Structure 1
Amino acid sequence: MEHRTSRQHVVDMCRTMLERGYLKATEGNVSVRVPSHDCYAVTPSNYDYDRMRAEDISLVGFDGKPLPGSGSGLPPSIECGMHANIYRERPDVNAIVHTHQPYASALAFLRREIPALTDEQVRFLGRKVAIIPYAPSGTSFLAGKVQKKVASGDNAFIIANHGIIALGTDPDRAVFNMALLEKVSLAYLLALTTEAGKVYTIPDAIREIAFTKLRKDEKRIAAQITAAVEPLRVPTDESLPSVAEAARRAVAGTGSAPTTVPAPTVAVPAPTVAAPVPAEAVPGAADSKPGLAAVVAAATDLGSAAGDDPAAAPSATPAEGAAASVTTNDKTAADDVPQPIGAESAALGYAITTYPDVDDTMRRLKALVAQPVRGLRHDAMHDVLNYFETKCRASKEITDRAKLRIPGGVQHNLAFNYPFPLAIDRAEGAYLTDRDGNTYIDFLQAGGPTLLGSNYAPVNERVAEVIKASGPVTGLFHEYELKLAEIINRYMPHIEMYRSLGSGTEAVMAAVRGARAFTGKNVVIKVGGAYHGWSDTMVYGLRVPGTYRMNAKGIPFGATNSTREAFPHDLGLLKRKLIENRLRGGTAAVIVEPVGPESGTRPVPYDYNAKVRELCDEFGALLIFDEVVTGFRLGLGGASGYFGVTPDLTVLGKAVSGGYPMAGGVGGRADVMAVFGSGLDGKNGSHVQVGGTLSANPLSCAAGYFAIEEMARTNAPVLAGRAGDRLTRGLQRIVDKYGLPYVVYNQGSIVHLECSGVMLLDMRHPVKLLKENKPRKRLMEEMSAAYAAHGIITLAGSRMYTSMADTDEVIDDALARFDQVFALVEGV
């Protein structure tokens, strides 16, 4: 065919949109698929459209790698990952326009999708113009969210707080769809401003007829394009050219190239976005059609669009801005792979560099549970107990006194109790010191909140200033209530509003109550074995899946009547419960720990949360993320940011106040959070009842604000995650060295060391549970005591939290101590 280059198509599109006011300066980006090749032509990053020439346009493969010799040496758009994902997902799409045009952008700020308003709209754009959830520009998170949405077959989308995407079977159609979207956006905005503020959509039947016509036209055009593209052949006396050479010939129209070509033999510079999955064969792009400017003018004539180039604009956070320069071959949630983010996660402020292989981890855990317990030799255990008797006498004396006034002698479920509790007098950085002066490496970190290390001076000093000025509590509004909510929103944009409460348990109670009030439904589904605090509703299937009310002593049956349990990993069972609930009034919410029950003790696959999100959307249930442990510990964006999944409500605790008391709160979508409105305004009938005399006190809110500020300044989540990686690798070497069946894995700074596997028992094997629960729990206690006797404090001998204070020297010291303990195991 006559081949006007795909690069010239891009230039023509840009100039037309520039003339008509849809583009300005360097904003947005445009691409066109190269016919019969797994690559596309795309605008360069931060380059003025007025000066753009065909030779400035970059050619980028579907693997995300720029092809050598294209683009005048200019870097391609930072949104290459987004464009590649669209072309892979939609073979019918041959041109993409991404702009920040004003009227559609206004809807992006409102996060308001456009329903089916006119036949013309549906005929060209699709059933509706959906909102793509927010993600930072130029990241694989955004590319993954876009890919998921464009699978609907629609041709126009609004990206929350960003701009729009218009797709077309050819360059003309993409530009036409972009202009039509702006016209519809303007009309919709005007309708919303009327006194009625209500719009009426076209009948569903008409909408479906128009949409069917759209899909038929797209298939017809795609078939015509494919038929029009001549097969590219290589003379028999010529060796097969590289991908880059084949693309150059196709674009220039000066030679032939094979239909299938080998990988480049020359190293190609890495892209500035996460590389997507390998592409499949797709049909080529159409010739440029005449009358491009006329098509645009016919759609609408609006004034200049305003906006900034995403490459030049500051990112949502300093960490997010680094994503554009990260090289990685890892993939996003949309790619359904177990190791999704890799190096990019560190650049974005995330602690997990490699997500654990869940299938392999579960296989090893099941193998551990299948064999008899293997603990310390009797003589070694005698020495451990002797340490406590001789070196910890002051702790024993004071905790024996405590038994007279405190039930059980301790107040904390995480307290070390075997053979008796240790009384801690000092905590600093990576260390704890007990009443007897013994020093320990602190891998408990108070159960997770002290990500900066214990007793972190820069936060303490700032909090002291606040207490000096206002005291710890006033009972009235204080500026740090707002500052804390704002800084949480800065790093977790999906938390549009935030209500501070007294603990993670209170926050879960509020989230469940709010979900029920918002949806008008009662049933809440949790994952068996997960811990969501100790409220009546959530003490159900606690720690051991399938135990239902086994731990619910003192809780009336009515309190758990609307709580359901699904086994970990079993999405089929979760869906069945959602179906059952739909027949009984529906499901208010599904609540999950994003890394798996009990902080990842039963780890879930990387794509698990995304699939739960889809099920919640399908059945009209809210998704609640319990991020009491993962919030800020996995990264500044929490588990939601790492997994690229947006919950409706998020529960925070622990790290949200930097280890200070009253750490808890619930946040999320503004419309859902509206049910938590407070104050004596006479509207309590429309609000759920939550409160607390000490909730949102100046001390806790200031501590949270300054702690998060320090986490961002120091990159604490990433540093703690690196410490977790180093600890995990070292522990695995020691386990292998002694041939032990123990299982080691980590999710960033959450490190799991399973020696007994007691947490892996469940009610699907009740005889084994009843028979082995006690001996396996006893082994966990004994290992915990052995670690302490060698100078290491863990959480129940099976979990460790690392912090920014855990330097390489601290980790290596700990590993030497673990080596000493494992050398004492039976059979070594």
Structure 2
Amino acid sequence: MNHERSRDLYDRALSVLPGGVNSSVRATQPYPPFVARGDGAHVVDADGNRYLDYVMGYGPLLYGHDAPEPVQSAVQKFASEGPMYGMPTEVEVEHAEFVARHVPSVEMIRFVNSGTEATVSAVRLARGYTGRDKIVVMQGGYHGAQESTLVAGGPENPRPSTPGIPPEFAKHTLPIPFNDPAAAEAVFEEHGDDIAAVLVEPILANKGIVMPVDGYHQRLRELCDDHGSLLVFDEVITGFRVGGLGCAQSTFGVTPDVTTFGKIIGGGFPVGAIGGKAEIIERFTPAGDVFQSGTFSGHPVTMAAGHEYLKFAAENDVYEHVNRLGRRLREGVEDLLEDRAPEYTVVGTDSMFKTVFTRDAPGSFEDHCEGGCRQRDSCPRFDACPKTGADVAAAETGRWERIFWQEMKAQGVLLTANQFESQFVSYAHTDEDIEETLEAYKTAL
């Protein structure tokens, strides 16, 4: 493949953009491919190279790069009628009604402009609603680029995970390991009266796709109920990817007090949302006293795109298709790993997938969790499967980035560029695409 145009664009970008990119996850070695256009399940870069795409915008492109005709028509209609108004529109009401009908936790919803803005607002809401300051987060979880959750360490020594955040901010955040009920119980025993909320992804989806162990979310629900804290599910990635229109919370049978959304809920346009019990969400201004506002919130083009996106999924076999292909891909990779790298772990569910380059596991896949790790305690590989963000970080992350990702890209398959980010199957992918991908895996592994 020729990459001269991408190389030249990157050289120009380094002069005007920090690191040559506008989001740190786009920085790949030696330079990222610059995309010129999308085409179904593919992207074409500035040099004309064509790739099977499993990045899918980091999740929002449920239909690939060609949205269904009703979505395209809605976008064109609303864009042609005016860019935005700073005033309410009917389509934002229709979209809110649709989400509230399908997601178990949502009675009311406030739309914002990004997943980060959604989680920032959810934390402020939880603190305002409870009158408490502390929040519990999962080590290895991700809740956007915000001061309250960019925190490392443990409950007794929280510290900012990046320069630019005052240590005083971090002291109100209590990081604990995911999938560790005892750690959750201990932090509530010590700080229960001061905890406003537990903020958790139903599945760690930004750290290798780590499923919860049986009963974990139920225990968090009990602890929050016992101590008057809110349970906040961050479904920015899993929302309308896992569990269909009911989202991941419907899969696990646990109803949070508040849910944050992004990605698919805006049909590929910038969006975020905070939904939950009416008595909680109504604390947002102007109904309540917790300030939240945004000029572009409920943008009509985004609302129209998101509404038609979800309506199309409700009326067609979208989830059946993407989930079937996702499972076929995960099972196919498992078959390859059994011969080539049995120490690695296939993770994912529904239309999400990843291979974590774990370092130690049984040499056989006999009686394993087929189609991706499910944290089944009777699985022979249970002890070796990643259960926390730290487990994923301890994998061979350098091998993924420097060798495997590069080799897959050279074969025309574009994956997320590091070991941690989820990968996604879209409605545009086909069985033939899965076979092509597995052939590339065979060579790269």
Please, what TM-score do these two structures have when normalized by structure 1? Answer: 0.48
Corresponding position: 1:657 with 2:262: no
What is aligned with 2:437?
A: 814
What is aligned with 1:612?
A: 220
Corresponding position: 1:480 with 2:104: no
Please tell me whether the aligned partners of residues 267 and 305 of structure 2 are also in contact (alpha carbons under 8 angstroms): yes
Superposed CA offset, 1:115-168 (max 9, x none) = xxxxxxxxxxxxxxxxxxxxxxxxxxxxxxxxxxxxxxxxxxxxxxxxxxxxxx
Per the alignment, do residues 545 and 627 of structure 1 end up closer, same or farther by CA in structure 2, a change over 3 Å counting? farther
Structure 1 residue 654: Cα displacement = 0.6
Per the alignment, do residues 698 and 605 of structure 1 end up closer, same or farther by CA in structure 2, a change over 3 Å counting? same
Whole-angstrom CA distance in 2 between matches of 1:754 and 1:762? 12
Per the alignment, do residues 433 and 756 of structure 1 end up closer, same or farther by CA in structure 2, a change over 3 Å counting? farther
Whole-angstrom CA distance in 2 between matches of 1:718 and 1:604? 23
Corresponding position: 1:777 with 2:389: no
Letter in 2 for 1:673: I
Whole-angstrom CA distance in 2 between matches of 1:403 and 1:545? 39
| Corresponding residue to 2:319 among 717, 727, 731 | 717
Per the alignment, do residues 418 and 740 of structure 1 end up closer, same or farther by CA in structure 2, a change over 3 Å counting? farther
Q: How many residues align?
A: 417
Per the alignment, do residues 518 and 546 of structure 1 end up closer, same or farther by CA in structure 2, a change over 3 Å counting? closer
| Corresponding residue to 2:28 among 417, 422, 431 | 417
Structure 1 residue 729: Cα displacement = 0.8
The structure having more radius of gyration, on CA atoms, is 1
Letter in 2 for 1:666: I
Whole-angstrom CA distance in 2 between matches of 1:714 and 1:416? 36
Structure 1 residue 547: Cα displacement = 9.1
Whole-angstrom CA distance in 1 between matches of 2:340 and 2:215? 34
Structure 1 residue 724: Cα displacement = 0.8
Per the alignment, do residues 762 and 424 of structure 1 end up closer, same or farther by CA in structure 2, a change over 3 Å counting? same
Structure 1 residue 504: Cα displacement = 0.5
Please tell me whether the aligned partners of residues 418 and 781 of structure 1 are also in contact (alpha carbons under 8 angstroms): yes
What is aligned with 2:162?
A: 552
What is aligned with 1:792?
A: 413
What is aligned with 2:293?
A: 691
What is aligned with 1:642?
A: 251
Per the alignment, do residues 719 and 567 of structure 1 end up closer, same or farther by CA in structure 2, a change over 3 Å counting? same
What is aligned with 2:80?
A: 468
Corresponding position: 1:748 with 2:350: yes
Corresponding position: 1:451 with 2:65: no
Whole-angstrom CA distance in 2 between matches of 1:491 and 1:763? 30
Corresponding position: 1:580 with 2:182: no
Whole-angstrom CA distance in 2 between matches of 1:457 and 1:785? 32
Whole-angstrom CA distance in 2 between matches of 1:547 and 1:534? 20
Structure 1 residue 551: Cα displacement = 2.2
| Corresponding residue to 1:730 among 328, 332, 341 | 332
SS at match of 1:589: strand
Whole-angstrom CA distance in 2 between matches of 1:599 and 1:613? 23
What is aligned with 1:370?
A: none
Please tell me whether the aligned partners of residues 178 and 388 of structure 2 are also in contact (alpha carbons under 8 angstroms): no
SS at match of 2:245: coil
Corresponding position: 1:670 with 2:278: yes
SS at match of 1:425: strand
Superposed CA offset, 1:781-814 (max 9, x none) = 4321111111111112544211111211111111
Give aligned-pair identity as a percent: 32
Unaligned runs of 5+ in 2: 361-384
Please tell me whether the aligned partners of residues 502 and 695 of structure 1 are also in contact (alpha carbons under 8 angstroms): yes
| Bigger relative contact order, structure 1 or 2 (CA pairs below 8 A, ≥6 apart) | 2
What is aligned with 2:365?
A: none
Per the alignment, do residues 777 and 806 of structure 1 end up closer, same or farther by CA in structure 2, a change over 3 Å counting? same
Structure 1 residue 548: Cα displacement = 4.4
Per the alignment, do residues 600 and 483 of structure 1 end up closer, same or farther by CA in structure 2, a change over 3 Å counting? farther
What is aligned with 1:591?
A: 199
What is aligned with 1:561?
A: 171
Structure 1 residue 714: Cα displacement = 2.1
Letter in 1 for 2:181: L
Please tell me whether the aligned partners of residues 514 and 675 of structure 1 are also in contact (alpha carbons under 8 angstroms): yes
Whole-angstrom CA distance in 1 between matches of 2:390 and 2:62? 36
Superposed CA offset, 1:720-742 (max 9, x none) = 11111010011111112324422
Mean CA deviation greater in 424-433 or 594-603: 594-603
Please, what TM-score do these two structures have when normalized by structure 2? Answer: 0.88
Superposed CA offset, 1:693-735 (max 9, x none) = 1111101111111111111122323321111101001111111
SS at match of 1:427: strand
